[in-house]
């Protein structure tokens, strides 16, 4: 690199070689002083000074070129030895210019790149990771990973100026206009083995998991006594065989609960097969009328086994909260869902409702005030559940408030009935902003018909509340409220109103509901079941019968659901312009102009589209408040919840929704098509 530059001796060496000449000046000064003191002595001193100067000049003229040559030769040998040592350096090393071209490299770099043709070759042509931004850094060095020919290297780039490189040569200086140009020293450290060992260590790490049989009691009741033991044994055998193939360990904790441990590498295998154990257990049939389903929860992503087990517990709770028959993998902050294609199994027993009701009562008794809040753009189910809880809480002698916001056209006639003239307190309904100002430390917030803080009527209230209770019938999502003191989530319930109706019967010994309160709860059940045609079970009709006994009037409720002419026209237009995708999916856009509540109209349009022959699922997009609201509906063949979750929403297998920001209805429509196509190709639907 120095051959093409003008080279001279370093300034310090030159001064050292010229010291006799510099000393001559001192001799002359001393001679002058002696001459003034004694002329005879001065003459002798002058003669000696002249001899010294002559000898010094002769020596410089004769020996200086040889000394310079010897020093330059030594410097060249020193540089050559240094160059040879770098060339034989056991680590791949190269010098790069500011554009990433190789100016010099050693033999190990040739071996790493498997070629000797590296001079002036761009480093990015060999290692794709060397993009332009990799050469832009202010710190002393930069490290990053590169891969080439199945090897993994840790690349270290060091920046320096060209003049700094020449200054390292002790006898030479650089005379160049480019001495401020940037250069880079590149080192490649082979981390292939380290990465392999790290990967092996990660793959061999033991991952804890939990397995619950969702409907153990119901399945056993559907088979004769003589075969019950055999059925349980067959389910055990399926679980044991499955994890034996995965080199896992299974231990039965209870009659319907298992603890499992598998290696992390086998988790990936189970993921690739979408946890086929879910289907294996469902195929166990020896005359049982009901099919057994299981829920699986695994936790990983932490170096602590205790933390991974805690994640597994959270995962199994989430699987159960989403209706069971699915596997949930919680990998740190990421959550993966598998299965969940079958309907939630209805529980005939009310034991859980009674336990939750008693726990809720104990919480309420220790609090001063209770705030009840539903989801944003609350509907009849949201407000009906809130009104039911309001009645139960006030019967206990506690102060309660229902937090309100924007209401749908079907809700407003209902809310208008709860006035002071009808015996209700003036502050029964309060705005979210007011609720945050009067919320105190010993107060409680109950969230109904929603389990996501961001979807509530006033999310700030969720963040401020010290005591939280969640009552919902939607499947849990990844961003569900986690810090709730009491969580009662039952995806098999038809509505939040059904759940509240059951809870009320156990919270207070004798709840005396007024007719309008019974109407509110009844209307919520009617709306979410689409007039008792969807998601209805034995307990749904039991709740409806209880409300009828307490004064619910079907005629009054029916009048609440009558449409405005504008809403009716909007539904008709949406249905008229419906596009049939893949011969079985109806996708429509519902206009929001001229409607009282566009989101409700969109949901109603989606329900209407299911009446068309051959349609397995319906999707209606409505643009409202700078968002696209999606209503997704199906009867039994397509799990629309999985589709809605890919859009950031959620819901049930046959009733789901999502809110899409920064998007138009047409864009949302195309996005739905892409998701349906991808999920069809992947076998998800």
Please say which residue of 87, 115, 144 terminates a domain.
87
Rounded Cα–Cα distance for residues 227 and 215 (Å): 17
Res 617: pLDDT: 93
252-280 pLDDT per residue, tens: 999 999 999 999 999 989 998 889 999 99
Which among 236, 147, 143, 238 is positioned nearest to 192, based on CA atoms?
147
Task: Please indicate, yes or no, whether residues 435 and 468 belong to a single structural domain of this protein.
Answer: yes
Instruction: Tell which phi-psi region holds residue 112, choosing left (phi > 0), alpha (psi between -120 and 50) or beta.
Output: alpha
How confident is the model over 191-220, as a mean pLDDT?
A: 86
pLDDT band at 65 (very low <50, low <70, confident <90, very high): low
- Residue 388, pLDDT above cutoff 70: yes
Give the lowest-confidence range in 118-132, 161-175, 352-366. Answer: 161-175
Backbone angles phi, psi at 284, to 5 degrees: -80, 105
How confident is the model over 647-653, as a mean pLDDT?
A: 81
Task: Please indicate, yes or no, whether residues 554 and 575 belong to a single structural domain of this protein.
Answer: no
Q: What is the pTM for the complete model shown?
A: 0.59
Q: Are strands 579-581 and 486-489 parallel, antiparallel or unpaired?
A: unpaired
Helices 538-549 and 496-507, packing angle to 10 deg:
60
Please say which residue of 158, 175, 199 terminates a domain.
199
Domain count within the chain: 5
Task: Please indicate, yes or no, whether residues 54 and 26 belong to a single structural domain of this protein.
Answer: yes
CA distances from 334 to 124, 303, 450 (A): 34, 16, 21
Backbone angles phi, psi at 51, to 5 degrees: -65, -45
Instruction: Tell which phi-psi region holds residue 155, choosing left (phi > 0), alpha (psi between -120 and 50) or beta.
Output: beta
How confident is the model over 317-326, as a mean pLDDT?
A: 82
What is the CATH number for 286?
Answer: 3.30.70.270
Rounded Cα–Cα distance for residues 541 and 479 (Å): 32
Of 123-127, 194-198, 670-674, highest mean pLDDT: 670-674
* Locus of tokens 């020093």: 71
Which among 518, 531, 605 is positioned nearest to 561, based on CA atoms?
531
Alpha carbon dihedral 532, 536, 541, 542, in 10-degree steps, equals: -150
3-state class of 528 per DSSP? helix
Q: What percent of the chain has pLDDT over 70?
A: 89
67-97 pLDDT per residue, tens: 666 665 656 565 666 666 666 777 888 888 8
213-243 pLDDT per residue, tens: 988 888 888 888 888 899 999 999 999 999 9
DSSP string, 352-413: HHHHHHHHHHHHHHT-SEEEEE-BSSB-HHHHHHHHHHHHHHHHTT-EEEEEE-SB-TTTHH
Task: Please indicate, yes or no, whether residues 83 and 220 belong to a single structural domain of this protein.
Answer: no
3-state class of 506 per DSSP? helix
More confident residue, 625 or 669: 669
Rounded Cα–Cα distance for residues 126 and 94 (Å): 13
More confident residue, 172 or 524: 524
Tokens describing residue 569: 């026209």
Task: Please indicate, yes or no, whether residues 260 and 286 belong to a single structural domain of this protein.
Answer: yes
Res 235: pLDDT: 93
What is the CATH number for 678?
Answer: 3.10.310.30
Please say which residue of 60, 87, 114 terminates a domain.
87
Rounded Cα–Cα distance for residues 651 and 125 (Å): 50
- Residue 431, pLDDT above cutoff 60: yes
Rounded Cα–Cα distance for residues 601 and 314 (Å): 37
Residue 204 lies in a domain: no
Residue 377 lies in a domain: yes
Tokens describing residue 268: 């990936």
3-state class of 15 per DSSP? helix
- Residues linked to residue 208 through DSSP beta bridges, in sequence order: 261
How confident is the model over 149-164, as a mean pLDDT?
A: 79
* Angle ∠(423,552,473) on CA atoms, nearest 5: 100
- Residue 5, pLDDT above cutoff 50: no
Neighbours of 232 (CB within 10 A): 18
More confident residue, 336 or 585: 585
Tell me the H-state helices in 223-346. 225-245, 264-272, 277-282, 305-321
Residue 254 lies in a domain: yes
Task: Please indicate, yes or no, whether residues 493 and 432 belong to a single structural domain of this protein.
Answer: yes
- Residue 605, pLDDT above cutoff 70: yes
CA distances from 346 to 232, 543, 656 (A): 20, 14, 19
Rounded Cα–Cα distance for residues 124 and 101 (Å): 9
Which among 455, 449, 464 is positioned nearest to 389, based on CA atoms?
449
Task: Please indicate, yes or no, whether residues 407 and 555 belong to a single structural domain of this protein.
Answer: yes
Note whether 427 and 401 are within 8 A (CB): yes
HEC string for 413-454: HHHCCCCHHHCCCCCCEEEHHHHHHHCCCCCEEEEECCCEHH
What is the CATH number for 496?
Answer: 3.90.1640.10
CA distances from 663 to 341, 579, 675 (A): 29, 19, 16
3-state class of 683 per DSSP? coil
DSSP string, 623-678: EETTEEEEEEEESSS--HHHHHHHTT-EE-SSEEEEEEES--HHHHHHHHHHHHHH
Task: Please indicate, yes or no, whether residues 504 and 361 belong to a single structural domain of this protein.
Answer: yes
Rounded Cα–Cα distance for residues 460 and 3 (Å): 72
Residue 598 lies in a domain: yes
Residue 345 lies in a domain: no
Res 363: pLDDT: 92
Task: Please indicate, yes or no, whether residues 451 and 539 belong to a single structural domain of this protein.
Answer: yes
Task: Please indicate, yes or no, whether residues 455 and 392 belong to a single structural domain of this protein.
Answer: yes
pLDDT band at 440 (very low <50, low <70, confident <90, very high): very high
What is the CATH number for 131?
Answer: 3.30.450.20
**How much is the mean pLDDT over the chain?**
84
Residue 346 lies in a domain: no
Contacts of 174 (CB under 8 A, 6+ apart): 2, 5, 7, 162, 163, 166, 167
- Residue 343, pLDDT above cutoff 80: no
How confident is the model over 439-464, as a mean pLDDT?
A: 91
Rounded Cα–Cα distance for residues 80 and 480 (Å): 68
Task: Please indicate, yes or no, whether residues 156 and 213 belong to a single structural domain of this protein.
Answer: no
- Residue 16, pLDDT above cutoff 70: no
DSSP letter at 323? T
Tell me the H-state helices in 577-664. 598-609, 640-646
How confident is the model over 573-577, as a mean pLDDT?
A: 91
514-543 pLDDT per residue, tens: 899 999 999 999 988 888 887 788 889 999
Q: What percent of the chain has pLDDT over 90?
A: 33
Residue 344 lies in a domain: no
- Residue 619, pLDDT above cutoff 90: yes
298-320 pLDDT per residue, tens: 999 888 899 999 999 989 988 88
Residue 296 lies in a domain: yes
Task: Please indicate, yes or no, whether residues 316 and 222 belong to a single structural domain of this protein.
Answer: yes
pLDDT band at 108 (very low <50, low <70, confident <90, very high): confident
Range of the domain at 68: 6-87
Res 67: pLDDT: 65
Residues in the chain, how many? 685
Q: Give the full edge-to-edge strand order of the sheet including 206-213.
A: 249-254, 257-263, 206-213, 294-300, 326-331, 334-339
Contacts of 293 (CB under 8 A, 6+ apart): 213, 214, 215, 278, 281, 282, 324, 325, 342, 345
């Amino acid at each position: 690199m120095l051959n093409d530059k003008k080279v001279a001796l370093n300034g310090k060496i030159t001064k050292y070689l010229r010291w006799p000449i510099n000393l001559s000046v001192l001799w002359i000064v001393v001679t002058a002083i002696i001459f003034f003191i004694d002329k005879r002595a001065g003459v002798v001193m002058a003669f000696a000074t002249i001899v010294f100067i002559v000898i010094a000049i002769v020596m410089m003229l004769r020996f200086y070129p040889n000394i310079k040559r010897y020093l330059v030769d030594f410097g060249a040998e020193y540089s050559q030895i240094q160059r040879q040592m770098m060339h034989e350096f056991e680590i791949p090393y190269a010098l790069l210019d500011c554009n990433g071209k190789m100016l010099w490299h050693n033999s190990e770099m040739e071996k790493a790149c498997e070629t000797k043709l590296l001079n002036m070759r761009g480093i990015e042509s060999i290692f794709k990771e060397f993009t332009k931004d990799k050469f832009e850094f202010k710190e002393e060095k930069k490290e990053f990973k590169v891969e080439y020919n199945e090897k993994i290297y840790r690349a270290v780039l060091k920046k320096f100026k060209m003049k700094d490189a020449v200054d390292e040569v002790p006898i030479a200086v650089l005379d160049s206009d480019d001495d401020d140009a940037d250069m880079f020293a590149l080192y490649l450290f082979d981390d292939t083995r380290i990465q392999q060992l790290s990967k092996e260590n990660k793959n061999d790490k033991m991952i804890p998991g939990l397995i619950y049989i969702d409907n153990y009691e119901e399945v056993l009741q559907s088979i004769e006594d003589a075969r019950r033991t055999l059925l349980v044994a067959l389910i055990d055998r399926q679980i044991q065989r499955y994890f034996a193939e995965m080199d896992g360990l299974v231990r039965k904790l209870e009659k319907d609960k298992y603890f499992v441990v598998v290696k992390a590498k086998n988790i990936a295998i189970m993921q690739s097969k979408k946890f086929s154990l879910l289907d294996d257990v469902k195929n166990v049939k020896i005359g049982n009328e009901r099919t057994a389903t299981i829920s699986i929860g695994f936790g990983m992503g932490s170096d602590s086994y205790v933390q991974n087990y805690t994640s597994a517990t959270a995962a199994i709770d989430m699987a159960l909260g989403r209706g069971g028959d699915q596997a949930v993998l919680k990998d740190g902050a990421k959550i993966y869902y598998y299965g969940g294609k079958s309907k939630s199994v209805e529980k005939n027993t009310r034991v859980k409702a009674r336990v939750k009701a008693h726990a809720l009562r104990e919480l309420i008794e220790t609090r001063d005030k209770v705030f009840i809040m539903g989801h944003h753009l609350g509907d009849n189910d949201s407000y009906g559940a809130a009104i039911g809880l309001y009645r139960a809480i006030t019967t206990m002698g506690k102060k309660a408030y229902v937090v309100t916001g924007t209401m749908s056209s079907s809700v407003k006639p209902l809310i208008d009935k709860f006035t002071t003239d009808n015996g209700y307190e003036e502050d029964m309904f309060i705005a979210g902003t007011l609720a945050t100002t009067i919320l105190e430390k010993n107060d409680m917030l109950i969230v109904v018909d929603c389990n996501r803080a961001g979807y509530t009527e006033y999310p700030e209230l969720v963040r401020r509340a010290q005591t939280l209770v969640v009552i919902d019938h939607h499947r849990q999502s990844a961003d569900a409220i986690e810090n709730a003191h009491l969580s009662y989530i039952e995806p098999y319930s038809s509505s939040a109103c059904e759940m509240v109706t059951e809870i009320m019967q156990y919270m207070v010994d004798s709840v005396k509901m007024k007719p309008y309160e019974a109407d509110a709860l009844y209307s919520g059940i009617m709306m979410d079941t689409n007039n008792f045609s969807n998601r209805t079970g034995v307990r749904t009709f039991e709740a409806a019968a209880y409300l009828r006994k307490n004064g619910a009037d079907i005629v009054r409720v029916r009048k609440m659901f009558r449409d405005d002419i504008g809403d009716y026209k909007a539904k008709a237009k949406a249905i008229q312009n419906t596009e049939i995708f893949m011969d079985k999916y109806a996708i429509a856009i519902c206009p929001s102009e001229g409607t009282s509540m566009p989101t409700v109209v969109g949901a109603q349009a989606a329900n209407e589209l299911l009446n068309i022959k051959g349609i397995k699922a319906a999707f209606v997009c409505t643009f409202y408040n700078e968002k696209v609201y999606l209503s997704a509906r199906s009867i039994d063949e397509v799990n629309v919840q999985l589709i809605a979750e890919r859009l950031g929403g959620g819901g049930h297998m046959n009733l789901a929704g999502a809110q899409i920001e920064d998007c138009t209805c047409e864009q949302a429509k195309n996005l739905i098509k892409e998701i349906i196509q991808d999920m069809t190709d992947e076998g998800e639907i």
